[in-house]
Amino acid sequence: MNKNIHLIELLQKDYKETWDYQTDLLQGIIDIKVKNRREELNIETNNYFLFVEHPHVYTLGKSGDMSNLLLNEKQLESKGISFYKINRGGDITYHGPGQIVGYPILDLENFFTDIHKYLRFLEEVIIKVIAEYGLKGERSDGETGVWLDVGTPFARKICAMGIRTSRWVTMHGFALNVNADLGYFDHIIPCGIKGKAVTSLEAELGSKLHIEEVKEKILNHFKEIFEVNEFIKKASL
């Protein structure tokens, strides 16, 4: 089992371009797995981890409800916000500057074949990261992601998650609000969950954070929790 992960930093990249890139990487892994099974080979499959910051965009998961987008096409255009219906789980969410988006494209057969465990591990990575800033991240039953003050009137989400898997290969991932402009969440019902707020590290701590510092913490905890051998830095797209 290959527990190395190729780390690719995409900087700021268009959502559709990044989605296509993820799809190509996922399909490349699947092609190797199919070849292995058909020809009784044992070719090693790669794993990837993409870091990216998207321009303003709303994405709606395959089971999402369009009514959770509160703007029409002209309003989206006037505000410079893109919109895509996509093939991950979950409902609607926002991506934009000041947010760390992570896309692990892993062959789970290199780690463990359990989607529920995979999501819980992703949540645990973020819970451990924000704990370093003195915040107590929590899970909310039936609501994937990382929250603060679960079970109180002040419950708020700090990290959204949504994935897709095919033949045990993952794509899409998580979006951690670091210095994001939370006003963009006012134009959607985030994740289709009414009456719950969204927050960021900046909002909770009262000051902006260094994005690269937070990324480093994410990688450290991801390596620990997923028992990664090594992150191998690769050139960006």
Q: How far apart are CA 200 and CA 15, in angstroms?
A: 21
Does 133 reside within a domain?
A: yes
Angle at 115 between CA 67 and CA 155, to 5 degrees: 50
pTM above 0.75, yes or no: yes
CATH number for position 129 = 3.30.930.10
Flag whether pLDDT at 193 surpasses 80: no
Structural domain boundaries, residue 219:
52-100+112-226
User: Binding site for substrate, residues?
Assistant: 88-95, 160-162, 173-175
Flag whether pLDDT at 164 surpasses 90: yes
What pLDDT digit, counting tens, does each position of 55-87 carry?
A: 999 999 988 899 999 999 999 999 999 999 998
188 vs 169, residue with greater confidence? 169
**Catalytic residue from among 191, 198, 201, 214:** 191
pLDDT above 70 coverage of the chain, percent: 97
Residues 140-161: what's their mean pLDDT? 94
Count of structural domains within the chain: 1
Is 159 catalytic? The answer is no
- Closest by CA to 236, choosing from 12, 23, 55, is 12
Does 173 reside within a domain?
A: yes
Flag whether pLDDT at 107 surpasses 80: yes
What pLDDT digit, counting tens, does each position of 7-33 carry?
A: 999 999 999 999 999 999 999 999 999
Q: What is the pLDDT of residue 234?
A: 84
Chain Cα centroid distance, residue 234: 19
Q: What is the pLDDT of residue 195?
A: 66
Does 213 reside within a domain?
A: yes
Does 165 reside within a domain?
A: yes
Does 34 reside within a domain?
A: no
Does 175 reside within a domain?
A: yes
60-64 long-range contacts, CB within 8 A, separation 24+:
60/84, 60/85, 60/86, 60/91, 60/92, 61/86, 61/88, 61/89, 61/90, 61/91, 61/92, 61/162, 62/86, 62/87, 62/88, 62/89, 63/89, 63/90, 63/91, 64/90, 64/91, 64/92, 64/192
- Closest by CA to 171, choosing from 41, 49, 3, is 49
Flag whether pLDDT at 190 surpasses 90: no
Does 183 reside within a domain?
A: yes
Does 9 reside within a domain?
A: no
Residues 158-167: what's their mean pLDDT? 96
pLDDT above 90 coverage of the chain, percent: 89
